[in-house]
């Protein structure tokens, strides 16, 4: 029998506006694609209870969807406080959003330091018939720069690898919690 959750982890999803942070989160929480997702103003947060095989109790994930617009930069630092994990998201069809993740890393780390994180290229469904605009070397360079050990290409539309992103980050946070 699973006891009520003792473990609580705050996670922030960051990246430029329009990369699919909200739809990624909606797919994770509801197993549905929300095609009419509105641009996040400020932030939204959601809670999900997760069971890991090696945890005796449920884990509470409080997931914060942060606005990607530059003019919200001044308020985001308050939302980073207490975060134990970060999901860096870029749009696989927009190379600029990939390179902007360096700025996101600097913003996050200036607020909370280095925490477990995963790198996510979203909108895989839009490039499946084409070649990716990001080559392997670029991706490896950014992954190393973000101190991310894990990289996923996801489709919030079809749910491709969405659960894996959150599961891996939860495992990383739980492992650090146990140490």
pLDDT for 73: 58
What does each C-alpha distance from 59 to 22, 35, 51, 176 come to in angstroms? 22, 29, 6, 14
Instruction: Look at residue 3 and give its three-state secondary structure.
Output: strand
Give me the pLDDT at residue 105, please.
93
Looking at residue 57, its pLDDT comes to 80
Q: Report CA 163 to chain centroid distance, whole Å.
A: 11
Q: What pLDDT score was predicted for residue 84?
A: 96
Round to whole Å and give the CA distance between 47 and 173: 16
Q: What is the pLDDT of residue 72?
A: 53
Say whether domain 3-178 belongs to CATH 3.40.50.300. yes
Asked if residue 161 lies in contact with residue 152, where contact means CB atoms within 8 angstroms, the answer is yes
pLDDT of residue 129: 58
Q: Is 85 helix (H, G, I), strand (E, B) or coil?
A: strand
Count of other CB atoms within 10 angstroms of residue 128: 13
Query: Residue 32 has which token pair?
Result: 């549905």
pLDDT along the chain (179 residues), means of 10: 70 92 91 65 73 82 75 65 95 91 92 94 81 74 78 93 96 88
Query: Coil, strand or helix: which one is 64?
Result: strand
> How many helices (DSSP H) and strands (DSSP E) are in the chain?
6, 6
Global confidence as pTM: 0.86
State the pLDDT at residue 7: 86
pLDDT of residue 124: 92
**Do residues 94 and 60 touch, judged by C-beta distance below 8 A?**
no
Per the listing, tokens 């005796």 go with: 56
Looking at residue 71, what is its pLDDT?
A: 46
Structure token digits, residue 131: 């070649």
């Amino acid at each position: 029998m699973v006891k009520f959750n003792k473990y609580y982890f705050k996670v922030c999803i960051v990246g430029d506006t329009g990369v699919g942070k909200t739809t990624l989160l909606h797919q994770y929480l509801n197993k549905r694609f929300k095609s009419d997702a509105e641009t996040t103003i400020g932030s939204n947060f959601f809670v999900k209870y997760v069971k890991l095989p090696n945890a005796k109790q449920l884990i509470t994930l409080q997931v914060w969807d942060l606005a990607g617009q530059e003019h919200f930069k001044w308020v985001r630092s308050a939302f980073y406080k207490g975060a134990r994990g970060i999901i860096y998201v870029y749009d696989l069809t927009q190379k600029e959003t990939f390179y902007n993740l360096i700025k996101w890393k600097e913003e996050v780390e200036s607020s909370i330091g280095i925490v477990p994180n995963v790198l996510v290229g979203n909108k895989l469904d839009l490039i499946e018939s084409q070649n990716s605009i990001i080559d392997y070397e670029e991706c490896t360079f950014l992954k190393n720069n973000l101190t991310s050990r894990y990289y996923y290409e996801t489709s919030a539309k079809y749910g491709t690898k969405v659960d894996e992103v959150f599961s891996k980050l939860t495992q990383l946070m739980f492992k650090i919690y146990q140490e």
